[in-house]
Amino acid sequence: MKPPVISNPWASLRRFTPARIALGRSGTSLPTEPQLAFQLAHAQARDAVHRTFDVDGTALAMHALGLATRMAHSAAADRPTYLQRPDRGRSLDGASAAALRATTTGSDLALVVADGLSALAVERHAAPFMAALLPLLRSANPPWSLSPIVLVQQGRVAIGDEIGALLQASMVLVMIGERPGLSSPDSLGLYLTWAPRPGRTDAERNCVSNVRPEGLLYDDAAHRAAWLLNAARARQLTGVALKDESEAPPALASTAAPGFVLTDGSRR
């Protein structure tokens, strides 16, 4: 008599990835445990999309790092509008635009935190990422001057272009919650744009994605972001013309698996 659950011969590979592989089967269906795990992951992804951004808690976390903050809101008045009208999430409402215009900083780098499609991601990871990035910005030659961090409710990536232009910043870094996956409801994305202004396209930005302890670690993400920022300032461009040629930070390189040593001696 066959057992009710038939294991997949690849089951031993599951320890290397959170992807749903080698789940086995029961008859022609999934076994109960992975089926329930799938339903839970789906519910977590939906919750992340609809979660209300805790701007006050995020502001406190940034203040603990010595960073000033400003509040802003997109032209999407609520979450249903944000999800149904992506265009409104790409621009500020009138009051937010006026407030930022009145507090122009003329800094090198405008910093934006937007809830995006996962407020959970920015609540968990924006402050720890900034804690790793700040020393690299301060040690750059010359050091980066920073705007207050603008915390945006119902924001999408392109809203950083308007914010950067209003603050008259040379460059903008947008930290935003990425679209949740079924194993990553809290993935933080970083978007960097030189000379921000409304109308910039995705081809004119660089992206570092999946920043979280289970993905790209804070120190590694900060190292990559700092390299891109410095290279963008030196070349005065971002996007398809700027490739990430950074090497792993020394602390990470020393612990990387031997199988990830490249032919030039660097590690990935």
Tens of pLDDT along 142-153?
999 999 999 999
Element (H, E) at 229: helix 218-235
Distance from C-alpha of 11 to C-alpha of 149, rounded to nearest angstrom: 45
Distance from C-alpha of 45 to C-alpha of 180, rounded to nearest angstrom: 5
The whole-number average pLDDT for the span 24-33 is 84
Kindly indicate the confidence band of residue 256, based on its pLDDT and cuts at 50, 70 and 90: very low
In this predicted model, which residue has the larger pLDDT, 204 or 25? 204
Q: Is the pLDDT of residue 262 over 70?
A: no
Q: Is the pLDDT of residue 254 over 70?
A: no
Full-model pTM: 0.85
- Residue 157's φ and ψ, nearest 5 degrees, are -55, -45
Bridge partners (DSSP) of residue 149 are 69, 111
CA nearest 200: which of 226, 163, 155, 232? Answer: 163
Across the chain, mean pLDDT equals 89
For 13, 60, 61, 161, 172, the CA distances from 65, given in Å and listed in that order, are 40, 9, 7, 25, 19
Do 90 and 150 form a contact (C-beta atoms < 8 A)? no
pLDDT at res. 259: 35
Those residues whose C-beta lies under 8 Å from the C-beta of residue 82, and which sit 6 or more positions away, are 74, 76, 88, 89, 154
Query: Domains plus CATH for the chain?
Result: 54-245 (3.40.50.11240)
pLDDT at res. 15: 82
pLDDT at res. 32: 87
pLDDT digits (tens, 9 = 90+) for 59-111: 999 999 999 999 999 999 999 999 999 999 999 999 999 999 988 778 999 99
The whole-number average pLDDT for the span 107-130 is 97
pLDDT at res. 21: 82
pLDDT at res. 261: 32
Which SS3 state, helix, strand or coil, does residue 210 take? strand
pLDDT at res. 101: 92
Counting residues of the chain whose pLDDT is more than 90, the rounded percentage is: 70
Q: Is the pLDDT of residue 255 over 60?
A: no
Kindly indicate the confidence band of residue 260, based on its pLDDT and cuts at 50, 70 and 90: very low
The whole-number average pLDDT for the span 19-39 is 85
pLDDT at res. 209: 95
pLDDT at res. 252: 52
The whole-number average pLDDT for the span 13-21 is 80
